[in-house]
Structure 1
């Protein structure tokens, strides 16, 4: 019988730790496809810090409640800010930055369990910052930033390039390519793809297997692998945040957000 210690039981991000040492971090805004606003990002950072401080945690599994893993920023919230959007995004991207950094710096392995869409700087960024990714056959992956007049964030401009190479990263980010799970696996974003119904069992098998391995060796291996990449992410995050904030005040960005909500093709004017 699995025994769980619930550390965060309400709010936009939930966290519990099983007696096996597997921590379940669940994105919990299903009504918005786990869209990220400031409250959500603060809660995400808090949950990741709890994983850092909880000595029984051996593996962290990130999943999303509802139909999608995470579709990135909360477009409705962004559009509602109007002229205040650049300032709001400065705060949001700051929280996304420190949450992403904290995830990479965790000593234990991080598994992203992906179903539905993993999109935007938030959803796609969490996938790229995880150590291992298991996706359902029906999962979809895309950046989407350029589509709404924004730029990638969450360190994606570094992590994605490391995962897939420069040319493929440019293609994914500039064209907003929607990748199937199989395509994401083929180019190195996803570790393994399983039938939709088998996601929980596949994640459990991987997480429990990792939890039985020597923790110091796991921590050292993760640190060494991320060392060069992590330094690049840390250096890139401020520029990403500054660029996202600046772009969010442009006419194109406001048009892009409106087009997403109105389900129409945007018309960009270059200002």
Structure 2
């Protein structure tokens, strides 16, 4: 793993080893609000596999560099693929499925340190798949997918109902509100809210504490907790990805993506 001083600024994801068994994975596309494109997802997956293959790693912190945690999928990248959008969405969704599945299957606890916006399948999907979520006081959370003619992914259609309940999950996905950090904690979406300037230190402190626990027992407990959701998450990943590809063929999806890039309100006509 790279030390902080050796990481390449151009890398879309960086990974650093911290003392006492803690690894930090940083999303590194700050100019795009850490929106997920194929390059980032492949690098993210490789970083998770690196953690899985390193016995000394006992806890992982995931954060976003720049002003935001993650703004979901890269709408500019999606639009750039034109008529190939459905094929591209299928490839991107497959890699995001792999990232989500790797986070859940990782033997060690994964902590999301969220600041700025966590939106879309990328941002809110990661929130749903991490074991702990620390939110900065000014953090904002939004599903976002419906607003661009898509559906949530990353297993969010299952994890969200377990985190906040079915009625609230329906509201968050279909009505698409923006939540502040306090409301997100009140409904069970995040673990804890901390002052903005203490977010990373608090995440590291939690990770160091978890890294001192017996690793085999932690792995078994995490596995049992996630298995308690049954096969729902695994099945949802497949169904979500299939829905994304179907929607990528619709005029409403293109309208939603175009409106997001142009920063205007979309007009959907059901095609």
Q: Which category of TM-score, normalised to the shorter sequence, fits these structures?
A: over 0.9
Match of 2:80 in 1: 80
How far off is 1:230 after superposition? Answer: 5.9
State whether structure 2 residue 147 is matched by structure 1 residue 144. no
Q: Give the structure 2 partner of residue 9 of structure 1.
A: 7
1:184 aligned residue: 184
How far apart are the structure 1 equivalents of 2:198 and 2:70?
A: 19
TM-score, length basis structure 1: 0.96
Instruction: For 1:24 and 1:235, locate their aligned partners in 2 and report how far apart those are by CA, in whole Å.
Output: 29
Q: Report the alpha carbon displacement of residue 131 of structure 1 after superposing the two structures with TM.
A: 0.3
Structure 2: gaps (5+ residues)? none
Alignment-derived partner of residue 165 in structure 1: 165
CA-atom RMSD, angstroms?
1.3
Instruction: Give the corresponding residue for 1:30.
Output: 30
Indicate the residue corresponding to 2:110 in structure 1.
110
- Structure 1 segments of 4+ aligned residues over 4 angstroms from their partners: none
Q: Deviations over 1:14-68 (max 9, x none)?
A: 1111231100000011110001111111111111111110111000000000000
Cα pair 1:49 1:102 within 8 Å, conserved: yes
Where structure 1 has 5 or more consecutive residues not aligned to the other structure, the ranges are none
**Cross-structure match for 2:122:** 122
> TM-score, normalised on structure 2?
0.96
Residue of structure 2 in register with 1:174 after alignment:
174
Paired residues of 1:5 and 1:18 also in contact (CA < 8 A): no
Structure 2 distance, partners of 1:5, 1:57, is 14
Contact residue 69 and residue 117 of structure 1 kept, 8 A? yes
Note if 1:208 corresponds to 2:198. no
Are the aligned partners of 1:104 and 1:230 in contact in 2 as well (CA < 8 Å)?
Answer: no
Instruction: Give 1:231 shift.
Output: 2.3
Please say which of residues 224-233 and 239-248 is displaced more in the overlay. 224-233
